[in-house]
């Protein structure tokens, strides 16, 4: 017991709870027996949707997580394993390829490195028979040159009369020349093909005649002393063509002088032979033109383009 400041004694405050100690237990209400088993009703449509959304969200999150993990593994662990499997071994294809390249043997038929075909030889493969001089047919036009059944237009600057002496397998020759430097000229001859019967069985046809005239002209017409014994030969060809609508064959090559200082203004020559089937038999062109004089080479091309077959 405490004393109030006013001097009066105070009783302790009551707890406020009822005292059932003296009551009969049977008189108390029985809440347990009055409560039956709880029965839940069917979930509402809203609850179902909310539950489905939660499930789908969880599943989707799981799928995304698995995809991220797979991507990380593919860029790290799996990739390193694959690179190790693909790495070349000491005896792998890359090593074998390198060995094959080190043992490469050039193709002897490669036109960039192969020697010229046998027809482009220093020595002719025929007798290079020179026929008796035949009468040259006059050209009706002073701006043209005629030989046999061939005629060409004379370019400007080709004003040197080269003469009409016969050449190997060519008679009735007409020619014009253009000076390169003394005593060297670019020359284009045309004439009738004349083949002796006793020479390897007679006329060998367009290709055979073109090859023989080419070889003989390159080795017997005075040019060989400038070419040298072993000149480099480039830009060679031997192929069919047409001249003024008639079948023909051309053989052509560039001969580079063995001594490049033999002349001051030229060190190579384009040698050409063309045999054309004319109305009175074959006729031919034979020429050598300074290969390092662009105007002379262009003039040769124009002469070939201007060739006419005449009677």
How far apart are the C-alpha atoms of 154 and 137, rounded to whole Å?
16
Closest CA to 98 of 113, 108, 87, 88: 88
Residue 118 burial (CB count, 10 A) = 8
Burial of 220 (0-12, 13-18, 19+ CB in 10 A): middle
What pLDDT is recorded for position 71?
Answer: 76
Main-chain dihedrals φ then ψ at residue 83, nearest 5 degrees: -65, -35
Cα–Cα distance, 125 to 220 (Å, whole number): 12
Q: How open is the CA angle 139-145-151, to the nearest 5 degrees?
A: 90
Query: Domain map of the chain by residue range?
Result: 144-309
| C-alpha 217 chain-centroid distance | 37
Domain covering 144-309 in this structure, CATH number: 3.40.1000.10
Cis peptide before 183 (omega within 30 of 0): yes
Distance of alpha carbon 193 from alpha carbon 206, whole angstroms: 10
- 74: helix, coil or strand? helix
User: Quick one: the chain helix, strand, coil %, rounded to 5?
Assistant: 30, 25, 45
pLDDT tens track, the chain, 311 positions = 444 444 444 444 444 555 555 555 555 555 455 444 544 455 666 666 666 766 677 767 777 777 787 777 777 765 655 555 555 554 444 443 444 444 445 454 555 545 566 667 667 778 888 988 766 666 678 899 999 999 999 999 999 988 888 899 999 999 999 999 998 999 999 999 999 887 667 899 999 999 999 999 987 655 667 787 778 889 999 999 999 999 999 999 999 988 888 889 999 999 999 999 998 999 999 999 999 999 999 999 999 999 999 98
Question: 201 is written with which tokens?
Answer: 């069985």
How far is 106 from 108, CA to CA, in rounded Å?
6
d(CA 189, CA 166): 10
**Tokens 């109030």 belong to residue:** 4
1: tokens are: 């017991």
Give the whole-angstrom CA distance, residue 177 versus residue 191.
Answer: 15
Residues 6+ apart with CB under 8 A from 247: 206, 240, 276, 277
Q: Where are the alpha helices (DSSP H) in 35-190?
A: 45-75, 77-86, 93-102
Q: Does pTM top 0.75 for this prediction?
A: no
Q: What is the pLDDT of residue 49?
A: 66
- Main-chain phi, psi angles of 149, to 5 degrees: -105, 20
**Residue 49: helix, strand or coil by DSSP?**
helix
d(CA 208, CA 270) in angstroms, rounded, equals 20
């Amino acid at each position: 017991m405490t004393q109030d400041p006013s001097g009066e004694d105070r009783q302790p405050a009551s707890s406020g709870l009822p005292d059932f100690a003296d009551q009969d237990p049977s008189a108390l209400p029985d809440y347990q027996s009055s409560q039956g088993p709880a029965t839940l009703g069917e979930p509402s449509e809203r609850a179902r949707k909310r539950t489905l959304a939660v499930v789908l969200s969880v599943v989707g999150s799981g799928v995304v997580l698995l995809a991220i993990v797979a991507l990380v593994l593919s860029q790290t662990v799996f990739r390193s394993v694959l690179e190790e499997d693909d790495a070349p071994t000491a005896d792998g294809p890359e090593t074998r390829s390198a060995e094959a390249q080190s043992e490469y043997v050039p193709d002897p038929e490669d036109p960039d490195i192969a020697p010229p075909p046998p027809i482009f030889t220093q020595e002719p493969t025929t007798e290079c028979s020179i026929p008796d001089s035949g009468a040259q047919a006059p050209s009706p036009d002073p701006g043209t040159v005629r030989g046999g059944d061939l005629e060409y237009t004379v370019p400007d600057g080709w004003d040197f009369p080269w003469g009409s002496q016969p050449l190997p397998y060519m008679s009735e020759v007409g020619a014009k020349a253009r000076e390169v430097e003394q005593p060297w000229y670019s020359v284009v001859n045309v004439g009738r093909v004349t083949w002796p019967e006793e020479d390897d069985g007679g006329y060998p046809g367009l290709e055979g005649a073109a090859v023989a005239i080419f070889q003989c002209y390159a080795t017997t017409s005075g040019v060989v002393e400038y070419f040298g014994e072993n000149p480099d030969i480039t830009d060679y060809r031997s192929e069919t063509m047409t001249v003024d609508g008639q079948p023909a064959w051309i053989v052509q090559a560039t001969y580079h002088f063995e001594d490049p200082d033999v002349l001051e203004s030229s060190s190579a020559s384009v040698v050409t032979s063309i045999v054309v089937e004319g109305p009175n038999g074959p006729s031919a062109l034979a020429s050598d033109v300074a290969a390092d004089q662009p105007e002379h080479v262009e003039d040769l091309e124009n002469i070939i383009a201007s060739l006419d077959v005449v009677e």
